[in-house]
Amino acid sequence: MGANDIQATFKEQDADNIFKALTTGGQKEQPDKYNTSKLLEILTIRTLGPALSASQKPKIILNTLTPGFCHSALMRSARFPLNVAAYIGKLILARSTEKGSRTLVAAASAGEESHGCYMVDCKVREPSAWVRSEKGMETQKRVYGELMEILERIKPGITGNI
């Protein structure tokens, strides 16, 4: 994964148990855990969407999105020097929260063309090249399988609702 490909380093991708590996690390790893959580969302929806389509359950449209880099309080607990970099970055690059919210509204009102897809700037877009790569697709299957096992341990039979 190159820096231009995805924002998460996702070093846990090769662990025996991805979700267990995600529980390790301290405060300094929190920014990457945030990025990784967004990547896991994309990987999960890319499998869950088609699974829902194949089921006999009532149809729903499931998608994932990014509002982009917006003014928010997300970095309020960041420490130096990340807090300074985030402040300067927001001044130069961030869009308003209103503009960022447009993709949320677009995703909520999107039709079947968005089902199981990733939306950016109010349009369905391809996720990173890594997500679409062989390694990404293999990791996607692992993430989905592990997540289903976790959910079954919490509430046996829950995955039968898909």
Distance CA 103, CA 85 (A): 25
- The answer to whether 87 is a known catalytic residue is no
Amino acid 78: pLDDT: 76
| Domain spans in the chain, listed from the N-terminal domain onward | 11-161
Q: Which residues make Cβ contacts (< 8 Å) with residue 118, sequence separation at least 6?
A: 42, 45, 46, 63, 64, 65, 66, 124, 125, 126, 127
Which is catalytic among the residues 33, 34, 90, 99?
Answer: 34
Amino acid 28: pLDDT: 67
Give the predicted TM-score (pTM) of the model: 0.82
Distance CA 29, CA 36 (A): 10
pLDDT in tens, 9-26: 898 999 999 999 998 876
Alpha helix ranges (H) inside 6-133 = 18-22, 30-54, 82-93, 97-109, 129-132
Tell me the average pLDDT of the chain: 88
Which is catalytic among the residues 38, 57, 99, 144?
Answer: 38
pLDDT in tens, 24-59: 876 666 768 888 999 999 999 999 999 999 988 888
Instruction: Say whether pLDDT at 80 is over 70.
Output: yes
